[in-house]
């Protein structure tokens, strides 16, 4: 099983190599791919060094899978070239997510939509992934009418430059800025660019991707996304209105049995999800589960997940695992 990782030297690409190794994915040959300036550099995988190659050499090596984490422009340009060579692409950028001809997949939610013919598969936005893992089992039972979500997102979602900005500010060092404003001791209510409707691109991703993944256009979603000075994971305050009423004990039981979900909801002992404790874990954590007392059939909860793992690398590797186990390669 030859596996290419495109964007292998970046923050998410490095995490993908780590997750492939940790989950013991059946890699017989690793092909790390990066931009021209990184060709010839070495990356480490399972204690061995592998030289970074360009995309042409990667395609010529004919891997079964290419996991992309190199940005939307690169994905638009290169993913079709890999696909034309018969290589299955799992893409972590936003390039293909809303393309009606491409599947947008969270394995715990909708892996069953995948077929052998799918040669470019889209990995959803990090903040969408963790939310739909929790929403889907609840939708199946109670039918969701509307979701109001506010996010509190880690600087790691922006990349190395943002992590360096935060660390520099903590040390009092003036350095390169990933954001328009300081991030330490601050909260920036803008993730990605603003659109004509006043929402950011990140907020509209959450709205549109949620509907596509769950596969129900009747669900209404509205989002506010905020960058905060944390590492380890994204947090979300989620308000969910259902068509049908729920019993909180039953609802907690449903979430406890949902794949990829861990309930951390013991307020008597101050147990609830946090980025600090979600860091380097593959699960999505949910807590602060309580009824919204302002209107009927409505729930409040708090969802946290490691955005570099489940929000990116782990989800992509889980898609690859599903393809392999189900003979779809």
Task: Answer yes or no: are the C-beta atoms of 279 and 306 closer than 8 Å.
Answer: yes
What are the DSSP calls for 1-67, one per residue? -EEEEETTTSHHHHHHHHHHHHTT---SEEEEE--GGGTT-EEEETTEEEE-B-HHHHHHT--SEEE
Residue of 126, 139, 279, 301 with catalytic role? 126
Q: What residues have CB less than 8 Å from 252, skipping those under 6 apart?
A: 263, 265, 289
* Known active-site residue 126: yes
SS3 109: helix
Q: How many helices, marked H, and strands, marked E, lie in the chain?
A: 10, 14
Report CA Rg, the chain.
20
Provide the edge-to-edge strand list for the sheet that holds 261-263.
Answer: 220-227, 144-153, 234-242, 298-305, 284-291, 261-263
Q: Rounded distance, CA 155 to CA 137, Å?
A: 29
Residue of 139, 234, 279, 301 with catalytic role? 234
Question: Is the C-alpha dihedral spanning 157, 159, 160, 165 positive or negative?
Answer: negative
Q: What separation in angstroms does the CA of 93 have from each of 72, 151, 218, 224? A: 5, 19, 26, 21
Q: Rounded distance, CA 124 to CA 130, Å?
A: 10
User: Which DSSP state fits 257?
Assistant: T
* Known active-site residue 301: no
Residue 243 in tokens = 């068509």
User: Catalytic amino acids?
Assistant: 126, 234
């Amino acid at each position: 099983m030859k596996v290419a990782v495109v964007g292998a030297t970046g923050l998410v690409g490095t995490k993908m190599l780590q997750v492939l190794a940790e989950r013991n994915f059946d890699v017989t040959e690793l092909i790390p791919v990066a931009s021209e300036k990184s060709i010839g550099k070495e990356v480490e995988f399972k204690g061995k060094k592998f030289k970074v190659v360009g995309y042409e050499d990667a395609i010529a090596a004919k891997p079964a899978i290419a996991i992309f984490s190199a940005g939307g422009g690169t994905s638009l340009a290169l993913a079709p070239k890999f696909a034309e060579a018969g290589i299955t692409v799992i893409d972590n950028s936003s390039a293909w997510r809303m393309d009606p001809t491409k599947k947008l997949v969270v394995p715990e939610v909708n892996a069953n939509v995948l077929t052998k013919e799918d040669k470019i598969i889209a990995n959803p936005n990090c903040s969408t992934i963790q939310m739909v893992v929790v929403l889907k089992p609840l939708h199946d039972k109670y039918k969701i009418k509307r979701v109001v979500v506010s996010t509190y997102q880690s600087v790691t979602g922006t990349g190395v430059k943002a992590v360096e900005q935060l660390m520099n500010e903590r040390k009092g060092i003036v350095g390169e800025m990933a954001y328009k404003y300081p991030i330490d001791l601050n909260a920036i209510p803008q993730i990605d660019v603003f659109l004509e409707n006043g929402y950011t691109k990140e907020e509209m991703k959450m709205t549109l991707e949620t509907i596509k993944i769950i596969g129900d256009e009747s669900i209404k979603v509205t989002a506010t996304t905020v960058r905060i000075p944390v590492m380890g994971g994204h947090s979300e305050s989620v308000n969910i209105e259902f068509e049908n009423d729920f019993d909180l004990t039953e609802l907690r039981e449903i979430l406890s049995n949902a794949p990829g979900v861990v309930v951390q909801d013991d307020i008597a002992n101050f147990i609830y999800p946090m980025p600090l404790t979600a860091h380097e874990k593959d699960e999505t954590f949910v807590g602060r589960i309580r009824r919204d007392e302002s209107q009927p059939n409505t729930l409040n909860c708090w969802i946290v997940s490691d955005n570099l793992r489940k929000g990116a690398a782990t989800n992509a590797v889980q898609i690859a695992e599903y393809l392999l186990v189900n003979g779809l390669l």
